[in-house]
Structure formats: structure tokens, C-alpha cells
Amino acid sequence: MTAKKTSTPRTVADFLAQAYAIEAEAAERYRDFAEQMEVHNNTEVAELFRKLERIEQKHRDQILGQMGRTTPPRVKAYKWESAEGPETGAFIGLHYLMQPWHALEIALHNEKRAFAFFNELAKARVPPAVRAAAREMAEEEREHVKLIRQWIKKVPVPRPGWDRDPDPPTGSE
């Protein structure tokens, strides 16, 4: 794919700017997802995506505080190793009949990817301060993975045929 490996941060400031970009993009994507579900009257999943958006916004704002800022920085267009940011969900994973379980599976996948990203950085050949900051962020993402796993246990697992619509809005003609 055309997005190449992201540049490795050499300072804590660079690291925080990158972490901010990751959380900001993840929050924006959840907002996109919520809007898609709202347009398609899937309010239950829309609300869940809104919750996930708020969680990512909170994390984003926490990083903003660590950066010593009160106003958002201009987010650089980072290039990631994968096609999307390390915590950003792919548009193609959505379905208009999806259920909370599916939304949480997407969130779990994203949190796992974010953990892997920061964990790898924590082991990379970067200045010790950057490694320490990455380790801290990886721990936070590990906590998120745990929380999402607990959350998934509380929602029903979709039955086979969950995506079958008896009155499909777009039946082939």
C-alpha cells in the first residue's frame, strides 16, 4: 500500500504529537461510524459508537494535557505502517444491521492494534524517555483491551443470519 512506515519519534514531544494524532483520528472515525448508523436508523449501535468516540476524545484530551497545551495542535498527516492509523477502524467493517457485539469487536481490534503499536515502540531503539512514554501508553491500551473484553461479555452474541433483512431496501432487480 502507498502509506509507508511512520517515522519513529525521537523526542517525547514528537511521541505525544503522534499519540494525539492516533487518538484524534480514532475519535473522528467513531463519529463517522455513529453518523452512518444514525442515517440508517440503527440507534443502538450509533449510541455505542458515540460512547467509543467520547472515550477516544477523553484519551486525546488527556494527551493534550500531557503536551502542556489547552488548544489542539495541527495534526500532521502521519504515514502509518498499516493502511489506517493504529487505532482507526476501517470503513468496510460496517453493516447497517450490525449489532453492539460487532461494534465492540471492531473496538477490540483497534485497541489491540494500538497496544501493539505502542508496545513495539516501547521496545524500539529510541531515547529512554520515549520508550518510557510509549510503555505507559501501551499499558493504557492494554487496559482498554481488558475493558472492551468485559464489555463484549455483556452484550448478546449475534445469531447466525443476523444480516438477513426480510425487506431489503436494496434488493437486486
Residues that bind another protein (CB under 8 A): 1-3, 28, 32-33, 35-40, 74-75, 77-80, 83-85, 90-96, 98, 170-173
Q: In the complex with another protein, which residue's Cβ is closer, 128 or 168?
A: 168
Q: In the complex with another protein, which residue's Cβ is closer, 39 or 124?
A: 39
CA distance 76 to 63: 15
Q: How far is the CB of 88 from another protein (least distance, A)?
A: 9
Q: Under DSSP, is residue 79 helix (H, G, I), strand (E, B) or coil?
A: coil
Give helix 100-122 / helix 12-39 axis angle, nearest 10°: 170
Give helix 12-39 / helix 128-153 axis angle, nearest 10°: 20
**Residue 129, C-alpha cell as written in the block:** 524517555
Q: In the complex with another protein, which residue's Cβ is closer, 150 or 170?
A: 170
Q: How far is the CB of 155 from another protein (least distance, A)?
A: 19
Question: 68 in the Ramachandran plot: left (φ > 0), alpha (ψ -120 to 50) or beta?
Answer: left
Q: How far is the CB of 10 from another protein (least distance, A)?
A: 22
Q: In the complex with another protein, which residue's Cβ is closer, 6 or 126?
A: 6
